[in-house]
Each structure stands twice: as C-alpha cells, then as structure tokens.
C-alpha cells in the first residue's frame, strides 16, 4: 500500500461482493442489490473524480501489494483511466435499470454477470501491473460471453462463439508479447515499462502482436464481423455495455501500451492503422446504410466511429489523441443510449426490423425527442459530445495527413445519411400498423435511464473542458514520448517569397492550384 485509503480496491470489491450475493438471491432482491451496488460504485467514482488532482502526479490513488511470484496487486490511475472508469460506473446502473423488466430468467446470475463485468472493467483501467492488466483484459470476455450466450437472441450461440474465436486469437499473441516484454525489461510494472526503450526491431514484433489483439477489440476492419452479430444477439443491456465500455478497451490498449511503449514501431507502422481506418470509415458506413436490423446498423456505425478513434490516436498530436479520447467517451454514452433506444421499442414489439416500425413520433413523442438527440450526437452535430471528439481528432489527423483526414471526414456525410435514414423509417412517416399504434411512450424507468445520458451528451458538447482537463497532462506525456519518432505531416507549408520574387513564385504556385481547384 502506498498511501491513502484504497478506494480503487474498494471499487473493485463492492460489485464483486454484490455479485456473489446476487447469485444466491431471489429475482427481486437481486435487482435491488445490483442497482444498489452499482450506485455505490458510481458514488465512489464521483469521489474519485472529485479527489483527483488535475495537474498533480501522473499516477494517483496508487496501491501496491506483493502477491505470489512476480504477481503484484498494483493499482493506480491517471486522467485517461479516471475518465474511462467514470464512463463504466456511470453506465452500469443504467444497464441494470435497462434490464429491470426485460430479463426474467435467472435474474440473479444475470445481475452477477454484470457486476463481475463492472469489477473487471474497473480493474482493466486501474491495473498497474502488466499481468494483472492481462487477466482483467481477457477475463472481460467471460461474463460477456455468458450474457450473450444465455440471455441472447435466437442465434446467440453462433454469436457468442464468433465473439470468442476472434478475441481468442489475438489474446494468445498478446500474452506471448507480454511475456517477451517482461523478460526483456525485467519488470511487470506498467509505469516502469512506459519509460523503457525496447530495441526497435523487437518493437515491431511486439507491436504487431499487440495489434492483433487490440484490433479485434476495437474492432478494426477487417476483424470487425463479430461485433454486429454480438450486438444483434446480446440483450439490450449487454449491447449497451459492449458498445459503451468494451469497445473502448482496444483504444485504451493502443494508448496505454502500443503507442508509448513502442513509439518507433508505431511511427513506422502507422500506415497500417491509417489504411485500415480509412477503409473502415467508408466501408462500414456504406454497409450501415443498407441494414434492415436496427442493432446491426448501429453496430456498423460503431466500427466507423472507432476507425476515427484509431486514426486520431495515430495522428500523434494533442488534438488527435484528445479527440479520440472524447470520441471514446462520447461514443460510450451515445451508442449505449442508441442501443437502449432500440431496446425500448424492442421490448414493446419484439423485433429489430426497421420496416416493422414507422410513425412513432405520433404516439411516442418523448421517445422521438431523445432518439433525435442521440442521432444528432452520433452524427456529430456541434453542441453535442460527438462533435467535439470528431472535430478534434479529424483536425489532428489533418495535421498528419490531409488524405487520411479527407477520407475520414467523408464519414460525416455517410453518417448523416444512414442515421437519418434510420430515424426516418422508425420515427417519421404515417402511423399505420396496429401493433405499433398500441406502443406507449416512455415509462418513468426509461426516462430515468435516458435523461442522464442526454445530459452528459450535451454537457460534453457544450463544456468538454470538464472531461478534457483531467486527461490533458497524460495526453501531453504520450505526445512527448512519441515526439522523437513522429513523422512530419504532409502539409509542408512553405512561406511565400518576398515581394520582389513574388511574381515569379506566384506563377509557379498558381498553375497547379488552379488545376486542383477546378477538379
């Protein structure tokens, strides 16, 4: 233990203890216990945020205890981890509420799975020991696997299997890479590893091994196909937590390990990330456009958003990385909200087919309003959280490469197209179908879930400083770490010649620019 009250351990323990109790509790009490435990954890999270010293030490709330062998119980957070923990503990009570009526079988086990998931997520973000991190990182699969496999839709086994198969492959490679790192550096301590300079040729191999695992978690194209299936089969709350937090693990891994630990390899191989991200933005957006299943559509849109995150991270500058982080937070809130919006109408009509709906604005006006807000946040309307993240990261990407920025920015056109097309088919139009007519507007429980999500989406859009400030120092550290390896951007701005030579220079410069402008 190094100093202070072990609040992180407490945050890990509360959900875990509650999970064990839930397994043995009846349905009703399991719900209440789960809600209570997640709320307590949320309050602890708020305390954490309030106590976090912005601009203070990089690692705060550190705890350390030797276990067996090299194995250490080492916890601690920086600003980025703090924000991602906040995201997890904020979403968790909402997920429990979202499952309140929808889950009727084996409620105790279900709640236990979510609580274990919460412990694992907090653990991933606060682990300071490489092996501890790995265990949390991979263990996250297990409850998600159960949630999809037991409480999922008709084709849940296939989806759970696919989810597992994909993530398994990368995990093995990452584990091997980690063992190699530990042998090379002689420590499992993450802060120490962050400062360790691995030999460049070794970095490349380590980078590729990590990339194999993290790209799947992101997910990046072309290893994204598990996500639509997992989302479609998962229960509403499962989708919320999958999109909300689990999809952030990949990017967190990029930012925590690959970029600062292997800066040379990151700079060398950034073209892979840029290339895959560009393909993903265009490819998955177009695929989203033609989906007839609401959850699939939003799942594909998640892949497109995550592609902007990866591209933003590899811009290697303050705006790109901060933007990527804000997209992660924003997407966590907004996509969770969108999946819940799907869940609201799924609970009423038991179908995700877009064509089965239409005209909901008539009988569900409050729902229509929330759905509109989150749609706009998803397509990055200024004033919502989506804009701040997208704008910053694209601006950062532009500094690195105008081509990548251009291709990624086309996402704002395609994003508007598929989201508005979805919204139109579900909410607008004539209300003709009898079963749709019978659907009631939001009940108080649904209000309680949607209102905080909406508030955060707007808060992050209007005053993102609350979220940027804790992370600023950490991003600066990463940027500084990357600076020696960072390649120059493609802009190559050259000042104009002084007056005398200007006419000549003007000739030279204007020729090609004219051609470019007209094309």
Partner 1 sequence: MIQAIVFLPLLAALVAGLGQRVIGNMPSKIITTGALFTSCALSWPIFLSFVTGSGEPTVTPVLHWVSSGALQFNWELRVDTLTAVMLVVITTVSALVHLYSWGYMEEDPDQPRFFAYLSLFTFAMLMLVTANNLVQMFFGWEGVGLASYLLIGFWYKKPSANAAAIKAFVVNRVGDLGFMLGIFGTFLVFGTVSIPEILSAAPGMAGSTITFMGMRLDTMTILCLLLFIGAMGKSAQLGLHTWLPDAMEGPTPVSALIHAATMVTAGVFMVCRLSPMFETAPIAQGVVMFVGAATCFFAATVATTQWDIKRVIAYSTCSQLGYMFFAAGAGAYGAAMFHLFTHAFFKALLFLGAGSVIHAMHHEQDMRYYGNLRKSIPITYWAMMLGTLAITGVGIAGVAGFAGFYSKDGILEAAFASGGGGVVAFWVGIFVAFLTSFYSWRLVFLTFYGKPRWEQSEHIQHAVHGDHHDAPSEEDAGHDHAHAHHHDAPHGVQGDGTAGYHPHESPLSMLIPLVVLSIGAVFAGIAFHHQFIYPEEGMAFWKGSLAFDEHLMHAAHEVPTWVKWTPFTAMAIGLFLAWNSYIRNTTLPARFVAQFKLLHQFLYNKWYFDELYHLLFVKPAFAIGRFFWKRGDEGTIDRFGPDGAAALVQGGTRLAVRLQSGYVYGYAFVMLLGLVGLASWAMVNFL
Q: Hey, which residues between 416 and 455 contact partner 1 (CB under 8 A)? A: 416-417, 420-421, 424, 427-431
Q: Which of residues 472-501 bind partner 1 (CB under 8 A)?
A: 472, 489-497
Note whether 40 and 14 are within 8 A (CB). yes
Nearer to partner 1, 47 or 381 (CB): 381
* Least distance CB 55 / partner 1 (angstroms): 14
Under the binding rule (CB under 8 A), the answer on residue 161 touching partner 1 is yes
Q: Which is nearest to 85 in space by CA: 305, 260, 331, 329? A: 329
Stretch that binds partner 1, among 9-17, 106-114, 328-336, 377-385 (CB under 8 A): 377-385
Length of the chain: 519
Q: Which of residues 394-413 bind partner 1 (CB under 8 A)?
A: 394-395, 398-399, 402-403, 405-406, 409-410, 412-413
Stretch that binds partner 1, among 113-121, 264-272, 330-338, 386-394 (CB under 8 A): 386-394
Distance CA 409, CA 416 (A): 12
* Binding flags for partner 1, 103-132, as an x/- string (CB under 8 A): ----------------------------x-
Nearer to partner 1, 28 or 488 (CB): 488
Write down the H helix ranges in 364-493.
Answer: 365-378, 385-400, 402-427, 434-437, 444-462, 465-482
* Least distance CB 58 / partner 1 (angstroms): 18
* Least distance CB 4 / partner 1 (angstroms): 28
Nearer to partner 1, 82 or 408 (CB): 408
Please give the structure tokens belonging to residue 489. 């951007």
Q: Which of 138, 189, 446, 474 binds partner 1 (CB under 8 A)?
A: 138
Please give the structure tokens belonging to residue 183. 């042998």
Q: What are the phi and psi torsion angles at 13 (to 5°)?
A: -75, -40
Note whether 140 and 227 are within 8 A (CB). no
* Least distance CB 42 / partner 1 (angstroms): 26
Nearer to partner 1, 91 or 313 (CB): 313
* Least distance CB 380 / partner 1 (angstroms): 9
Distance CA 142, CA 351 (A): 27
Under the binding rule (CB under 8 A), the answer on residue 271 touching partner 1 is no
Under the binding rule (CB under 8 A), the answer on residue 513 touching partner 1 is yes
Stretch that binds partner 1, among 10-18, 41-49, 116-124, 224-232 (CB under 8 A): 224-232
Q: Which of 126, 336, 436, 468 binds partner 1 (CB under 8 A)?
A: 468
Stretch that binds partner 1, among 43-51, 225-233, 236-244, 304-312 (CB under 8 A): 225-233
* Least distance CB 359 / partner 1 (angstroms): 7
Distance CA 282, CA 262 (A): 29
In the three-class reduction of DSSP (H, G, I as helix; E, B as strand; rest coil), residue 186 is classed as coil
Under the binding rule (CB under 8 A), the answer on residue 458 touching partner 1 is no
In the three-class reduction of DSSP (H, G, I as helix; E, B as strand; rest coil), residue 110 is classed as helix
Note whether 306 and 435 are within 8 A (CB). no
Distance CA 126, CA 489 (A): 34
Please give the structure tokens belonging to residue 256. 């925590």
Number of residues engaging partner 1 in binding (CB under 8 A):
107
Query: From its phi and psi, is residue 383 left (phi > 0), alpha (psi between -120 and 50) or beta?
Result: left
Note whether 101 and 24 are within 8 A (CB). no
Stretch that binds partner 1, among 11-19, 28-36, 83-91, 502-510 (CB under 8 A): 502-510
Element housing 43 (H / E): helix 27-51
* Least distance CB 3 / partner 1 (angstroms): 27
How large is the C-alpha radius of gyration of the chain?
Answer: 23
Under the binding rule (CB under 8 A), the answer on residue 200 touching partner 1 is no
Nearer to partner 1, 71 or 271 (CB): 71
Q: Which is nearest to 262 in space by CA: 152, 148, 174? A: 174
Q: Which of residues 177-196 bind partner 1 (CB under 8 A)?
A: 179, 182-183, 188
Q: Give 17's contacts (C-beta < 8 A, 6+ positions apart).
A: 37
Note whether 452 and 331 are within 8 A (CB). no
Q: Which of 5, 24, 71, 271 binds partner 1 (CB under 8 A)?
A: 71
Residue with token string 């309030």: 50
Stretch that binds partner 1, among 12-20, 40-48, 105-113, 456-464 (CB under 8 A): 456-464
Nearer to partner 1, 76 or 464 (CB): 464
In the three-class reduction of DSSP (H, G, I as helix; E, B as strand; rest coil), residue 479 is classed as helix
Please give the structure tokens belonging to residue 40. 């307590």
* Least distance CB 451 / partner 1 (angstroms): 12
Give ∠ CA 408-370-144 in degrees, rounded to 5: 70
Distance CA 79, CA 58 (A): 8
Q: Which of 391, 433, 447, 459 binds partner 1 (CB under 8 A)?
A: 391
Q: Which of 39, 47, 175, 212 binds partner 1 (CB under 8 A)?
A: 175
Note whether 211 and 258 are within 8 A (CB). yes
Q: Which of residues 285-344 bind partner 1 (CB under 8 A)?
A: 286-291, 317-319, 322-323
């Amino acid at each position: 233990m190094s100093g202070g009250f072990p609040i992180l351990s407490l945050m890990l323990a509360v959900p875990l203890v509650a999970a064990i109790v839930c397994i043995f509790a009846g349905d009703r009490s399991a719900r209440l216990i789960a809600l209570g435990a997640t709320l307590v954890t949320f309050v602890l999270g708020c305390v954490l945020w309030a106590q976090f010293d912005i601009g203070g030490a990089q690692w705060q709330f550190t705890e350390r205890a030797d276990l067996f062998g090299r194995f250490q119980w080492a916890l601690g957070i920086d600003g980025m981890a703090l924000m991602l923990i906040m995201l997890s503990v904020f979403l968790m009570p909402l997920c429990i509420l979202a499952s309140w009526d929808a889950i009727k079988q084996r409620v105790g086990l279900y709640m236990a799975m979510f609580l274990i998931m919460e412990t694992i997520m907090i653990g991933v973000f606060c682990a300071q020991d490489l092996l501890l991190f790995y265990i949390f990182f991979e263990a996250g699969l297990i409850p998600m696997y159960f949630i999809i496999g037991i409480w999922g839709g008709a084709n849940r086994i296939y989806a759970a299997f696919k989810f597992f198969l994909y993530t398994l492959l990368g995990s093995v490679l990452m584990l091997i890479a980690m063992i190699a790192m530990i042998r090379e550096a002689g420590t499992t301590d993450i802060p120490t590893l962050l400062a360790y300079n691995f030999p460049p040729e070794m970095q490349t191999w380590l980078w590729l091994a990590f990339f194999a695992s993290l790209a799947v978690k992101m997910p990046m194209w072309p290893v994204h196909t598990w996500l639509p299936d997992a989302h479609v089969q998962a229960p509403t709350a499962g989708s919320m937590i999958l999109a909300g937090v689990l999809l952030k693990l990949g990017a967190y891994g990029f930012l925590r390990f690959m970029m600062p630990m292997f800066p040379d390899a990151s700079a060398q191989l950034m073209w892979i990330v840029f290339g895959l991200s560009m393909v993903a933005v265009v490819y998955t957006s177009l695929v989203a456009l033609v989906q007839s299943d609401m959850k699939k559509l939003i799942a594909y849109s998640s892949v497109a958003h995550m592609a902007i995150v990866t591209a933003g991270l590899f811009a290697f500058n303050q705006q790109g990385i901060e933007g990527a982080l804000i997209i992660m937070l924003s997407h966590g809130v907004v996509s969770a909200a969108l999946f819940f919006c799907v869940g609201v109408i799924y609970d009423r009509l038991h179908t995700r087919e877009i064509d089965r709906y239409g005209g909901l604005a008539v009988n569900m006006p409050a729902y229509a309003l929330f759905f509109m807000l989150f749609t706009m946040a998803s397509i990055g309307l200024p004033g919502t959280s989506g804009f701040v993240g997208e704008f910053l990261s694209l601006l950062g990407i532009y500094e690195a490469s105008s081509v990548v920025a251009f291709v990624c920015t086309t996402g704002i056109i395609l994003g508007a197209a598929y989201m508005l097309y979805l919204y139109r088919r579900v909410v607008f139009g004539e209300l003709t179908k009898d079963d749709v007519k019978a659907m009631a507007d939001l009940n108080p429980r649904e209000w309680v879930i949607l209102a905080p999500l909406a508030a955060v989406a707007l808060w992050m859009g209007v005053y993102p400083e609350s979220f940027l400030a804790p992370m600023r120092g950490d991003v600066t550290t990463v940027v500084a770490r990357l600076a020696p390896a960072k390649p120059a951007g493609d802009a190559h701005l050259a000042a104009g010649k002084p007056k005398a030579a200007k006419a000549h220079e003007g000739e030279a410069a204007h020729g090609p620019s004219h051609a470019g402008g007209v094309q």
